[in-house]
Amino acid sequence: MLPSVRPIAALAALLSTISGCHGASFSPPTCVGDITEFPNCEKADSIARKCSNLSKQETIDCFCTQELLNAYIGCKGEFRQCILGNSYDSSVDDMIDAWQGACGPYVSDITTPVASEATRTLDEDTCQTIAESCGQLSASITSCSSAYDQAAQITSCRCQESLVSLASVCDIDGSQSCLGKTAITSNIWEFRNCKAATDVLGTSADTATITTAPDTSTVEDTATSLSFGPDSTATSTTTSGTVSMGPKIGWRASLMLFLTLIYLY
């Protein structure tokens, strides 16, 4: 009888692990990609919970199904869409291997589908380097705001060529390479306000992938404030010479999130 005991013991251990790891019900993560719904991940989570604390045969009938395997594979594809890469594959593959090991003796004619690929992928090394530039820019802007209290002084500090170069990498290269979006140069504070941007950003501004929107920087109550990083508040200099505070916009926090996802998975 020992061979028949081992699979159900493995299945019980797997269910215990899943329940312990999940704790609360599945909560969709914030993604680098455009995906916002995770129906397969939610289904896998729901089935695993439903199958806990059942009798032996009920557990087998509940857990060892094509439906659950399909949900695992679908969840793998959803996370590819989320992080725009395959960094999470090994975690799901481990779960699938454990499922196959536990359920193999009880199921037949199971087909393993193929997980969907990400609609686009990221060069993680490149995006990590860009994110580091965003971090340096954020720290430098904070230093400028701390060192000076006059709008002209803050502008002069932020328009140093080194900071403009960082802004070019962060906002233009990062937007295109890591978020797959077209950079609008008039939304970049440095491009609107810094003479140094003519040399540093001028070439990029002439490329087909950069869009220059109508310049609204002369409007005093302009809404084009700039994000300085995931934990900072944006500022913009108005025509009256004051420094106004505005909500964070832009994509820099998203790129920081990308790094978090890479390290996490």
Distance, CA of 96 to CA of 115 (rounded, Å): 12
Q: Quick check: helix, strand or coil at residue 235?
A: strand
The DSSP string of 88-135 is: THHHHHHHHHHHHHHHGGG--S----PPPPPSS---HHHHHHHHHHHH
Distance, CA of 190 to CA of 234 (rounded, Å): 13
CB atoms within 10 A of CB 260: 15
pLDDT band at 256 (very low <50, low <70, confident <90, very high): very low
Which tops the pLDDT comparison, 82 or 224? Answer: 82
**Beta-ladder partners of 236:** 244
For residue 210, the model assigns a pLDDT of: 29
Q: Exposed/middle/buried for 27, CB within 10 Å: 0-12, 13-18, 19+? A: exposed
**Per-residue pLDDT for 227 more than 80?**
no
> Are residues 68 and 17 in contact, defined by beta-carbon separation less than 8 angstroms?
no
For residue 43, the model assigns a pLDDT of: 92
Mean pLDDT, the chain, rounded, equals 70
Q: Quick check: helix, strand or coil at residue 250?
A: coil
pLDDT digits (tens, 9 = 90+) for 199-225: 655 544 333 232 333 333 332 222 222
Region 111-117 average pLDDT:
89
Region 21-44 average pLDDT:
79
Which tops the pLDDT comparison, 149 or 251? Answer: 149
Distance, CA of 145 to CA of 90 (rounded, Å): 44
Q: Quick check: helix, strand or coil at residue 245?
A: strand
> Are residues 83 and 42 in contact, defined by beta-carbon separation less than 8 angstroms?
no
Which two three-digit tokens encode residue 181? 């979006």
Q: Quick check: helix, strand or coil at residue 234?
A: strand
The DSSP string of 162-206 is: HHHHHHIIIIIIHHHHTT---EEGGGSHHHHH-TTHHHHTHHHHT
**Per-residue pLDDT for 20 more than 80?**
no
pTM comes to 0.54
Which tops the pLDDT comparison, 111 or 213? Answer: 111
pLDDT digits (tens, 9 = 90+) for 150-178: 999 999 999 999 999 999 999 999 888 88
Which tops the pLDDT comparison, 234 or 254? Answer: 254
pLDDT band at 197 (very low <50, low <70, confident <90, very high): low
Portion of the chain with pLDDT greater than 90, in percent: 26
